Amino acid sequence: MYANPNSIINPSLWPNGPAPGCFFNFPGTSVTSTSSKSGIITRTQSPVTTGTSILGLVFDGGVMLAGDMLGSYGSMAKFRSIERIIKVNNSTVLGATGDIADFQHLKAIIEQKVIDEDCADDGFTLKPKALHTWLTRVLYNRRSKFDPLWNTFLVAGIEDGEPYLGCVDKIGTAFSDSKIATGYGAHIALPLMREGLEKKPQMTKEEARALLINCLRVLFYRDCRALNKHQIATITKEGVTIENNIELDTNWEVANFVIGYE
């Protein structure tokens, strides 16, 4: 607002100066342009298209990641072939829960990092611990700018002959463990994984796969953002194998006993 001629401030001393209680407008601006072009920065308040749980489990000689392939548009099961588990290189796999767009953004950056290392041809490749650390720094940096990437990542791989499984969330909180579940799986699947490891601490690949499949089946029953179409990634010293479009056997006979919701 420009100066009021009736103001106690002499307009001749400060041309276009503000009246008491008002703001000064710089030349060439207006009240309308100030409100719309004042450098206001918008942030993502909530993800739009999202993916649910990713499960990670270390077994004797390797590590597995598992998750479904649904991209939920709000509550709509819209995108049914989203690959949320990707191969980074021959020793590292990445899985993502949360905003699909933010995941695709980081996926493109990681793929370029791998290309740059291949071009350098210096004998070094991106290892799982290095990727986990890099993601921690990136996510914490974005969180510190109040513009987080709305994801939780699992990094799995083989480093120095040993399996590695790490997790980092959207605010940069990072840890590693022998069993990790993100999303709704942290409440439903993780207790099942813990129970399985208590009974058999050193699982074979087949036992680990059977346990993860059982967890995926329970999540499909319980999680309304889950889909019966899954990926399972296996990382061993021999390399990386990712199976896509896995459908599990399910049993809905119990639905006949659910009454009162007709």
Q: Which of 29, 32, 34, 44 is catalytic?
A: 44
44 annotated active-site? yes
Nearest to 232 by CA among 95, 71, 92: 95
Active site residues: 44
